[in-house]
Amino acid sequence: MEWRMDKSKKWFTDSEFWTLNRSFIWTQKRVEMSQAAAGRAASLMGMKPGDSVLDLACGFGRHSLALSRMGYSVTGVDLNSDLVDEASGIACSEGLQATFLCGDMREYVSPDSFDHIIMLYNSFGYFSDPADDARVLANCFASLRHGGKLLLHLHPREGRGADGDSKYWFEDSEGVFYLNDYSENRERTWSSIRWIVLNGNSRREWEYGVRVYGEEEIKALMRSAGFTSLESYSSLKGDEYKSGSLSMYLTGTRI
């Protein structure tokens, strides 16, 4: 049976994209590393017990819940209601101080409410209009208290090789095969990704895109939103960011 995604929908609003591809998007290894990643993020940002944290694009709350278990007051926001409900259920069952809301990061703003905001696992740049990215950063700035920090994770242009194109197969723990076909436009500002998913006699195809930023480009966008004291790292451990690094973690402060 062959199935293709409904291209009339924005891919990030399609709940089936996240639920049917869950084991590929959030591999077991990645899930198991969530607690450690949350701890490193807390250390990198200088979080203190009781600080309020907003996790934008929180998914099913793997970082939000970990931070809540560490004693932080956490709010998670995601567009996918199923994932938000899952995170809320876990928080409730564990008695955690965490709130999960269904919302669009282009619209969500809670003025002067948070000590820290995190956007981990390449959760920024989903929108075809770059003005929407600027809007998200402006919302983050407004939602932070004075002295608050934003932590943003990207896969930078500098780490994508000569032309940014790649193609590879991946098999998950349940024997499902995925083709990841990645390409960039001529200007290297937008990446287009096609997934073909083979599960027995079933074939599903997905297409999505993410904006690609270089270090100075994203820093300029953050400055335009009002952020200062910008720092970039290649890991949550605080390793120095260098051209060619596969990941870029940026922090910015609202003075």
Which amino acid makes up residue 71?
Answer: G
pLDDT for position 3 = 41
For residue range 40-75, what is the model confidence (pLDDT) as tens digits? 999 999 999 999 999 999 999 999 999 999 999 999
- Per-residue pLDDT band for 163 (boundaries 50, 70, 90) equals low
- Per-residue pLDDT band for 159 (boundaries 50, 70, 90) equals confident
What percentage of residues in the chain have a pLDDT greater than 70?
Answer: 94
Angle at which helices 34-45 and 62-69 cross, to 10°: 70
Classify the C-alpha dihedral 223-210-242-41 as positive or negative: positive
Structural domains in the chain plus CATH codes:
33-157+214-253 (3.40.50.150), 159-210 (2.20.25)
User: Does residue 255 have a pLDDT over 70?
Assistant: yes
pLDDT for position 9 = 57
pLDDT for position 162 = 53
Mean pLDDT of 163-167: 69
Residue from 178, 180, 197, 184 nearest 156 by CA:
184
For residue range 104-131, what is the model confidence (pLDDT) as tens digits? 999 999 999 999 999 999 899 999 899 9
- What is the chain's mean pLDDT, rounded? 90
Which amino acid makes up residue 147?
Answer: G
For residue range 93-110, what is the model confidence (pLDDT) as tens digits? 999 989 999 999 999 999
For residue range 171-223, what is the model confidence (pLDDT) as tens digits? 877 788 888 888 888 888 888 888 888 888 888 888 888 999 999 999 999 99
Mean pLDDT of 159-174: 72
pLDDT for position 1 = 52
User: Higher pLDDT residue, 83 or 187?
Assistant: 83
pLDDT for position 206 = 82
